[in-house]
Amino acid sequence: MRRHGLWIGWVAACSTAPLDGSPNSVGTFATLTMSAGSDPSSGDTSATETDPSVATSEPETSATATAEGSSGAGSTGSSSGSESGSGDSSTSDSGPDPLACSDGDLGQGLGNAVASGSLAGAIDDMAITCAGGGGLDAVYLWTAPAAGVYTFDLSGSDYQSAVAIFDPSCAGAELGCNDGAVAVNSSLTVDLVVGQQVLVVIEGVLGSVGNYVLDINSGPGPDFACADGGDLGSALGSVASGSTVGLDDTFTASCASEGADTVFVWTAPAAASYTFSLAGSDYDTLLTVQSPDCGGAELACNDDSGTLQSSLDLALAADQTVLVVVDGYNVNSGNFTLSIL
């Protein structure tokens, strides 16, 4: 009877209800068996021949399958959560390109004509503090090859230019700006560290446009602060006129004692010999040409050329810039006319 009871307990484990109709632990097994998919109305006794180890594993198998299904669904959810939390660049918004305004990368280029082009058809990418603002511009990325002072110069351009330097971002801070207040074309010197990147912004004064040529050189640029007459560009013919009356005597000359003077910047349009003349002036003149710096070396000097007016010839290289000093002999001053041929 004891063995029979044990056998009944096992049959109950495989059937849907206890044989004696009383509630006991066998009902719990029946519930598990039903959840495993047994038919409660079949009365199938074949379960009496089943190995108990298999019977007890059936609910676990069912539970494991459910867990895998849950794990599968959970894995998908977990994967989604992982993607949203991982900062995956494929789905994150990194914002606008900080260099979208740049027209090109000049690398570490140095020398003349590192960049050239035209502002015609350009757009206004950057707001600079000089030149009246709001003009069309060209923007270049540039990297300092070494620590030092660098000069960004637009003296070869054919319009009234401006240049500004910014930190390397379209929204970066301005490091400097020059609109050629003394000269027609601008030049700006900044101190940079090795590897420092900057944006070079080329613009025009009060919206002027034209063809630009950008030179980048190491070391301080020429000092044109003394050029009170302005920048004549590469003009030929009768290029300037005015009066030296009441002006200061700022330059000395090797060929005569001097008086009141005025100074112009001029750039040779091509390699050639040029004649600088003050013919037509109404006083005893003195004329010198100097290297492009207010403290630069004298290249040529003339007091009189057959008359009281001065004239001199000087061979220059293409794009060579000089200072032309219109002076007076021995404190003389008056109305002058300057020609370059």
Domain coordinates of the chain in residue numbers? 2-86, 111-218, 230-340
Q: Which of these, 179, 168, 187, lies nearest to 132 by C-alpha position? A: 179
Strands, E assignment, 136-236: 138-143, 148-153, 161-166, 174-178, 187-192, 197-204, 211-218, 230-231
Residue 95: predicted pLDDT: 56
pTM: 0.48
Element (H, E) at 133: none
Residue 223: predicted pLDDT: 77
Residue 53: predicted pLDDT: 43
pLDDT band at 306 (very low <50, low <70, confident <90, very high): confident
- According to CATH, the topology of domain 111-218 is Jelly Rolls (2.60.120)
| Higher pLDDT, residue 140 or 6 | 140
Residue 83: predicted pLDDT: 34
CATH 2.60.40.420 matches 230-340? no
Contact 296, 263 (CB under 8 A): no
**Average pLDDT of span 166-195:** 86
**Average pLDDT of span 25-45:** 40
- How far apart CA 75 and CA 78 sit, in angstroms, is 5
pLDDT band at 96 (very low <50, low <70, confident <90, very high): low
Express each pLDDT in 265-295 by its tens digit: 998 989 899 999 999 999 999 999 998 888 8
DSSP helix/strand/coil, 126: coil
User: Range with the lowest mean pLDDT among 19-28, 164-173, 221-230, 323-332?
Assistant: 19-28
User: Range with the lowest mean pLDDT among 135-144, 184-193, 211-220, 237-246?
Assistant: 184-193
Residue 302 pLDDT > 50: yes
Fold match, 111-218 / 230-340: yes
Bridge-based pairing of strands 262-267 and 237-243 is: unpaired
